[in-house]
Amino acid sequence: MTISARCRFTDGAEYLLEPETGESLIDAALRHGIPVKHQCLSGSCLSCLCISETGGLAMKPNVATSLLSSDIAAGERLLCSANLEAEDCLTFDYPSTAQAPRKVHTFINVVERVCDDVVRLEVELADGEHIDFSPGQYVNITVPGTESSRSYSMSSTPNELPTLEFYIRLLDSGVMSDYLRTQAKPDDVLTLEGPYGRFCADLSRATPMLFIAGGTGLSPVLSLIRQARNRVGRKPPMLLSFGCATKSRLFAEETLTLLSSWTPSLDIRIHVEDGSSSEFASGNPVTGLTTNDVHTGTEAFICGPPGMVQAAHN
């Protein structure tokens, strides 16, 4: 027996989703021409998020995703990591005509090593090119001369377009890491595709915000904080707990100092796991928090290594 689900979008558009036996829901949606957002297909980016109205859509067991147990209890599901077990109605919080990701060309303005294993990359859109994004989202960047691409979050805000900024971790080896380490230079052309992701916030409200960032997980967090600082009226109370494994891996300290001095409502704590000093606290961004740092109504945004993210959820 075929099990189907109605897919509803905020503009009133409806589509019927009927997966074939063994077919993933994402593949079925694309085959039916249903305009669902998707990207990582592994449960991390939350692009394919929907609400299961009747519970017929169930998350696959033993599959790790970015959804919290409270999110799942509230009916949130990811098409890439769920099975349709009974008739259901799935709602998506965007219109069926939502702008699809697009490819744009950019030129490198700056590529600089800011610590042992992080590069700051600044690019500028080519004349006539445009991309829309929300703070916290990411794009795929194609490595010149290859068909390989890697995903990176902007640390800049839409207000700074046509310039985009990224903090990118350098791996010991890797096609993008090798390019950035040995070849990248100003005026190189980079192709970007996006935006993707749902690591976003409603910055029209002054809701208290808690940010937990490890390593280059700081990049999308910086975008969110910068945008929150730019909002008209009262700024939301914000706490950033940021850390790296060693002092030699810390970066963006000057940027954080300036943000703190410009934003009285922002409290920044920097942690180093291999020991404390007069400048930094010992430990990681999660252990540096107390129950007094989280208040009723606080929105939390967590980005960094998987172990840190899991510890924060616990």
Q: What is the pLDDT of residues 171-203, one digit of tens each?
A: 999 999 999 999 999 999 999 998 888 788 877
Give the integer Cα–Cα distance in Å for 309 and 314: 9
CB atoms within 10 A of CB 17: 21
Pick the more confident residue, 314 or 125: 125
Give the integer Cα–Cα distance in Å for 46 and 89: 19
Pick the more confident residue, 2 or 163: 163
pLDDT of residue 306: 77
pLDDT band for 298, please (50, 70, 90 cuts): confident
Contacts of 282 (CB under 8 A, 6+ apart): 271, 272, 273, 275, 276
Pick the more confident residue, 303 or 280: 303
pLDDT at 278 over 70: no
Give the integer Cα–Cα distance in Å for 7 and 89: 6
pLDDT of residue 69: 85
pTM over 0.75: yes
Contacts of 132 (CB under 8 A, 6+ apart): 99, 158, 195
Pick the more confident residue, 52 or 66: 52
Residue 159 has φ and ψ, to the nearest 5°, of -65, -20
pLDDT band for 170, please (50, 70, 90 cuts): very high
Residue 296 has φ and ψ, to the nearest 5°, of -60, 130
Question: Of 65, 63, 61, 58, nearest to 82 (Cα)?
Answer: 58
Average pLDDT along the chain: 90
Give the integer Cα–Cα distance in Å for 196 and 285: 26
